[in-house]
Structure 1
Amino acid sequence: MNKESIKSAILVILVVISLFFTWNMWSLEPTYEKFEGETLFESVPIDDDAQRKMYEVITPQQLFIHSGNKHYSTINDSYAKSLWKEMQNWEYSNQKGLSKQDFEEIVSGTNIARLELRFFDEIPIETFQSMVKWKDETSSLFTFDRIYLRVVEENEIQKVFFVSASEKEIVEASVNNLDANVFVSDLFSKREQFQPYFVFQAGEDNEILLPENQLKVNNFQYFTEIIDDEKFKDALFSKPRIVKQDVNSTRNRYTDATRELNIYQAQHLVKFANPTLSISNSVDAFTLFQQSFNYLNDHGGWTDEYALFDINESVQEVSMIMSIDSIPVIESMESKYGPTMITQRWGQNEIANYTRPSYQLIHSISDDSTALMSGRMVEEFIKNNQQINASQIYNIFIAYELGSSDKEQIVSVSPVWCIKLKDGTLMKIRDILEQTEGDENGVE
């Protein structure tokens, strides 16, 4: 056999081998048996529909209307909600800071008709600017806990005043919507339908508005639903497939060797932590809230109605409080059921500690009403009680207290007067009265 014949034979063999492998590649049906039961996605939200817009989380605590020396408000949250939602559609411009004299006139002036929205805590104006159409450059240095809207004539430009009560600073903006002043004026005209309020001077610079008369506030009982442990595991770990579980009598523990999830069934409490993180690299309040809001949206953590309650830059912590009809819900110490706050502490732009309820409220099954003591009685109580230093009070408000009932899946929700101190401590007037063996308990 000559060389040419050998070359031709080798070429034929190579072509046959090539055709064989090509046929096998095209006809191969790969098996997926070893992947069965494994998700193609890593983390899965607790609830795909549990998404919030920012204005639904940053919400006013209460609406007040000021007319001369008269003050009005209501615990019906529909008015504050409608105003706040309307404000999201306005276009703001001509931002400018005002003087201390302007501050006194806007906040305390008796010759100005105005609406006021008060919030639980100081909010970065940069956060508000990110929520709306704001023409001017954003400012990261100013925070506010009140908004005032002056009542003006129909042909005048609506002004909005962002106020920091503690720093006595004020920023003014103009609204470029023709119907904004009509909306404000219409709401102002409804003031006589509201309850009369008065100013309680808590310390030198803190004016708190309290109702002149008793207020009737609804009681509730709610069915609760316990959120499955696996949902928290799948939502909070980036790779839930590698998470190991350890169950004991007090908790269910999950870990991926770095992060740890502990679920305490009896306390209805969830704790998620990454102990390797520190808070050495702190971020500003705007960034702190933004990443907290996004974190809850990303893993579907809004299992009930929650409102921004506190931003603490010093420890890089953000707290959201459960709310019912815009009234904050606090936990009962006497008949403890579980936490009512979502708290996030951050380190190096990652979640370091995350605590929250393991339950959600489903629907109310009964309700009646309770008559709370008037604001005048609250004022008298504070002035006559040595346990309370009025200068240390940040706010006084009505809250709902959530406690267990005689049925496992049902919680009771009842209104109480609550005092928030400047250091963040919450005190219930009823508890103070009971400690001093008073006859009154904050409820009449």
Structure 2
Amino acid sequence: MKYIEPVKSIILLILILLSLTLTFTIWTYSPNYPETDTPVVDISIAEKKKMEEVVRPYRLLISQPDNLKGSNSLVDINSVINSMKNWEIGTVKLFSNNTNVQQVNELINQPYASTLFFQADVPIESYGSILKFVDPIFPNTSFNRLVIDWNSSDAEGTEGEKNSSQGLTLYFISTTQNKIYSADVSKEDINSFSEHMIKTANAMQVYTEIARGGKYSIFTTGNPEKIVQYSYLIEDIDINRFKDALFNIPSLVVRRSNPVGSGEQYTDDNALMTVDPMSMRLNYVLPSAEGQFLGKSSELLYNSLSFVNEHDGWTDDFRFSRMNKESNQVNFQLYFEGLPVFSHIMSTEIMQSWGSNRVYRYNRPYFTLNDQPFSSKDIELLSGREAYELLSLVPNQQVSMIEEMVQGYYLSRDADQPLFTLVPSWYYLVNGVWIRLSPEDLGGGTFGLE
């Protein structure tokens, strides 16, 4: 009997050890499941872009005492912006709360000033990711003209003008809000920048100001210019890549013919994507996301850029061109060789409408331009001044309503061959709409000469 208690203790210890061993085995057990080949969906369509690659000016204007030079070349524009990246820009302050046309025209025209023109009002806070501002707190405002006053010490100054000892000044102008904000730049930057501006201006086109009395001046080319007309083979992007990028579970998406016409529909229980092969446009709608975006304009622009970056959707040179905060809509215009591309038959814009937390509607082209053109030839366009003067002779045309004039490309599609043609043309802006100045507008006269 004296051995019963020790035996019981040994048995109990063994049971405890077995229990601990089984518990540890259960916790650490990992079954060997058979390997399966799960396909990884590649939603990379083209490339990602930074803010500075999408929020780009369409024109650079350099004013000197004896001339006015301009350019839409990305090389010239980037050279100015890249120089500005090294600056330390001071606090952005209100300069004029109710500016007038004359004040804006004078700022742009003053000697030793460079102006960057933007197609849409850019939130100043968004531009804070491109340039280096000392003060990270920005006013909740936007601009569409950025004037760089680099007035040199040897200029014939007038009262109120700056000289080189005072450094550079930036003027953020909004012609839609009639406001101007300004910021100073440290004085050590002015000499090298002045030399760079003079050198850049020497290689640029002669521009002219069309003053219009009580209206913002139009700055345009002073001489005729040869621009290349291109033809490209049509290259469409596999629509399945957009399907995989936009739908949560692509394998559940059903494809069927569009019941109201040509094209196709892609749908699941939540979203619908329609495809129009004539305009080569897709339209994606997520009804559950419809709502009001409550963020600032800078947040809306950032979210729109990020959304396209999520599927590497920048297929060509698209630039921020429009924002409607009331409808939460952001547009990006197709550009080619520094000129905007418009069309009545083809899709040339990326459009997003935002809901409360994500994109509600996404409308865009699904084609891209090849690297090598199929054919090309030179077209000589009239100068901007000549085009404006001819337009003023067109019956029933109120030139006073024209807000801007730019060179652009008209994108047409060959009915018999898979070809795009980019035709150099003049465009003018009226009530937010770009209108092509065609030979028919001029009564059949010559518009461009081969």
1:201 Cα deviation after fit: 3.7
Q: Unpaired segments of 5 or more residues in structure 1?
A: none
TM-score (norm 2): 0.84
Q: Which stretch of the first structure deviates more once superposed, 72-81 or 300-309?
A: 72-81
1:52-96: CA deviation from partner (whole Å, max 9, x where unpaired): 111111111111111237322134332112112322332211432
1:361-411: CA deviation from partner (whole Å, max 9, x where unpaired): 121323221111122322222322344333432211011111123664431
How many residues align structurally?
Answer: 429
Q: CA RMSD in A?
A: 3.4
1:325 Cα deviation after fit: 1.7
Match of 1:393 among 402, 407, 428: 402
Quote the residue 2:287 is aligned against.
Answer: 275
Quote the residue 2:381 is aligned against.
Answer: 372
Match of 1:297 among 302, 309, 322: 309
Work out whether residues 99 and 179 of structure 2, in 8 Å CA contact, stay in contact via their aligned partners in 1: no
1:120 Cα deviation after fit: 0.7
Work out whether residues 152 and 185 of structure 1, in 8 Å CA contact, stay in contact via their aligned partners in 2: no
Q: Is 1:441 aligned to residue 447 of structure 2?
A: yes
> CA 1:68 to 1:244, structure 2 compared with 1: closer, same or farther past 3 Å?
same
> CA 1:67 to 1:261, structure 2 compared with 1: closer, same or farther past 3 Å?
same
- Partner of 2:89, secondary structure, is strand
Work out whether residues 140 and 286 of structure 1, in 8 Å CA contact, stay in contact via their aligned partners in 2: no
Quote the residue 1:29 is aligned against.
Answer: 32
Work out whether residues 292 and 354 of structure 2, in 8 Å CA contact, stay in contact via their aligned partners in 1: no
Q: Is 1:81 aligned to residue 78 of structure 2?
A: yes
For residues 352 and 83 of structure 1, the distance between their equivalents in structure 2, rounded to whole angstroms, comes to: 37
- Partner of 1:112, secondary structure, is coil
Work out whether residues 283 and 316 of structure 1, in 8 Å CA contact, stay in contact via their aligned partners in 2: no
Matches within 5 A, 1:307-318: 307-318=319-330
For residues 128 and 398 of structure 2, the distance between their equivalents in structure 1, rounded to whole angstroms, comes to: 36
Quote the residue 1:239 is aligned against.
Answer: 249
1:105 Cα deviation after fit: 5.6
One-letter amino acid of the counterpart of residue 438, structure 1: G
Q: Is 1:55 aligned to residue 58 of structure 2?
A: no
Match of 2:353 among 345, 352, 359: 345
1:16-61: CA deviation from partner (whole Å, max 9, x where unpaired): 9x8799599858421244xx3444x7x83323xx111111111111
1:208-237: CA deviation from partner (whole Å, max 9, x where unpaired): 112222111111122342111221011112
- Partner of 1:92, secondary structure, is coil
Work out whether residues 222 and 410 of structure 1, in 8 Å CA contact, stay in contact via their aligned partners in 2: yes
Q: Unpaired segments of 5 or more residues in structure 2?
A: 153-163
Work out whether residues 245 and 253 of structure 1, in 8 Å CA contact, stay in contact via their aligned partners in 2: yes
Work out whether residues 340 and 409 of structure 2, in 8 Å CA contact, stay in contact via their aligned partners in 1: yes
One-letter amino acid of the counterpart of residue 216, structure 1: K
Identity among equivalent pairs (%): 24
Q: Is 1:198 aligned to residue 208 of structure 2?
A: yes
Q: Is 1:363 aligned to residue 360 of structure 2?
A: no
Quote the residue 1:288 is aligned against.
Answer: 300
TM-score (norm 1): 0.85
For residues 27 and 281 of structure 1, the distance between their equivalents in structure 2, rounded to whole angstroms, comes to: 46
1:97 Cα deviation after fit: 2.1
Quote the residue 1:72 is aligned against.
Answer: 69
One-letter amino acid of the counterpart of residue 54, structure 2: V
Q: Is 1:264 aligned to residue 261 of structure 2?
A: no
One-letter amino acid of the counterpart of residue 309, structure 2: N
For residues 27 and 190 of structure 1, the distance between their equivalents in structure 2, rounded to whole angstroms, comes to: 68
